[in-house]
Amino acid sequence: MIVQRISSTAFSEQKPGTSGLRKKVVVFQQPHYLENFVQATFNCLTVDQKTTLVVGGDGRFYNDVAVQTIIRMAAANGFDKVLVGQNGLLSTPAASCLIRQYRADGGIILSASHNPAGPTEDFGIKFNGANGGPASETVTQSIYQKTLDIDHYLMVSSDDIDLTKIGSHGVGDMQVDVIDSVADYALLMESLFDFEAIAGLFKSGNFSMVFDAMHAVNGPYAKEIIENRLGAASGTVINGIPLDDFGQGHPDPNLVHAHELAAIMFGENAPSFGAASDGDGDRNMILGNNFYLNPCDSLAMLTANASLVPAFQQGINGVARSMPTSRAVDAVAAKLGIDCYQTPTGWKFFGNLLDDGKISLCGEESFGTGSDHLREKDGLWAVLFWLNIIAVRKQSIEQIALEHWQKYGRDYFTRHDYEGLEAKAAQAMFIQLREQLASLPGQSINSLGVTSAEDFAYTDPVDNSVSTHQGIQIKFDNGGRLVLRLSGTGTQGATLRVYLDQHEGDPLKLDQDPQLALQELVKAADTLLGLEDKFGRSQPDVIT
């Protein structure tokens, strides 16, 4: 095997964000750009950490090229084996599953999650560690530092691997196994849920479902599990063929972008249950017949009903939510007598808690839910969890939600996204806000008095690492809360996320439109931020 040492020049902007490095495809297509980042990642691993590597992605444009490049570089960098999903496809949860099951040293996942795909759209890459979860902040920072002074990368010359067929190949001294992308993940799901009870739903004739895979990676997973193994009718999974441009859609499972599913579920003769997942399969949206379930409420209700699912019949250790996620799950944790942790946004922060056994369930408001079965959020897992609960309780999503709110109260929640803001101006606004935080308590914004204001910082209870500047959190005297963050998942400009939540305990006020229930908070946020004056934005781009 001849290893080529290819000279390169460092790129200054290869710092990973919340979920890896995301840029436009044309950026990744620059000579040496992808290779530099992959080499920097490999340079962070020791010789003992180069035994087995998992590789795959969501199938977006450039996925096939990147997979072949990574395989050649892995061979040159001394890996013994690469496991790659058939056709180069692996959902993010499935990649985590494979890393853990085969005790791999880590994995490279090619995805920009819910971002659009195509020749002029987005691409992404991230490294997951041996626990199956996203690289820690320490590792991520190390990768970034190595990208700044890299001057070469290693590659072997070889023909492309045939990724369409399952089988083994040799690339240099390294073995490449092309494996079934779905099989291991499907077996894991069967071990967690009561498939017989769920199958009974579909056999009953009183239950119908639509799953929108949004032409993204979860199509094959949903078809195999929901239609083939659980017996749902053919056609239950729509938009189930992965396309490299996601059918020119935006694979973000919310009411705006999953508009086809929303039209079905809020139309006449709607099915009993609807769900969607995103580009790489780790997010979920849950709908009932003319009923939308907020992801914050979903986490709380899954926690409250966990004992109905085989995986949690022995109980749960604890639960965690990201700081912007509503406090609905906190009330359930208190009732169950378990710990509830508040972490920064980003799934990697749940990893230590899961590895240490402190929590069994976790979730975030951005349609992500997961458990200790993996170290990633898992869209299809959440759908199966809900199907299992429905099968046992024999109630609709809406009935389960209404009973939950009567017992715990309702935490009204909304998120307003302002996309494509000028990045420097957005950063300057946050600097100004941070400078005001100390003086805000005791002041009033419109009719609401501020009780506390902080720039959220997190000390990891496992390794005592500290993460600062994780979002601005302001609480008001009516029990409401405003959270502000600049998103780390976009590829251009800045996205401002404005989160608002407020608890309502009056049993007669549990069926309001969240936008109306939270209108005082919305007005306070508008006054504080002045987005129309600063950016000419009078309305958010997306409301969830």
CA distance 362 to 372: 9
One-letter identity of residue 136: S
CA nearest neighbour of 360 among 308, 284, 303: 303
Lookup result for tokens 């190949």: 169
User: Helical H runs in 44-180?
Assistant: 63-76, 92-101, 137-148
Q: Are strands 167-171 and 174-179 parallel, antiparallel or unpaired?
A: antiparallel
Tokens of 350: 């749940």
DSSP, residue by residue, 272-326: SEEEEE-TTS-BEEEEETTEEE-HHHHHHHHHHTGGGSGGGTT---EEEEETTS-
CA distance 30 to 24: 11
Active site residue 307: no
CA angle (141 as vertex; 133, 432 as ends), nearest 5? 105
Per-residue 3-state assignment (H helix, E strand, C coil) for 478-493: CCCEEEEEECCCCCCC
Pair 489, 113: CB distance under 8 Å: yes
Lookup result for tokens 């935006």: 250
CA distance 27 to 12: 13
One-letter identity of residue 465: S
DSSP, residue by residue, 130-159: TTSSBPPHHHHHHHHHHHHS--EEEEE--P
Q: Which of 19, 91, 96, 113 is catalytic?
A: 113
CA angle (297 as vertex; 292, 303 as ends), nearest 5? 130
Tokens of 508: 């007669």
CA distance 124 to 25: 8
CA nearest neighbour of 522 among 498, 504, 495: 498
| Contacts of 146-149 spanning 24+ positions with Cβ under 8 A | 146/40, 146/43, 146/44, 147/10, 147/11, 147/14, 147/15, 147/36, 147/37, 147/40, 148/10, 148/12, 149/10
CA distance 269 to 285: 20
Classify residue 215 as exposed, middle or buried by CB count within 10 Å of its CB (0-12, 13-18, 19+): buried
DSSP, residue by residue, 440-509: -TT-EETTEEEEEEEE--EE-TTT--EE----EEEEETTS-EEEEEE-SS-SSSEEEEEEEEEEE--GGG
Q: Which residues are catalytic?
A: 113
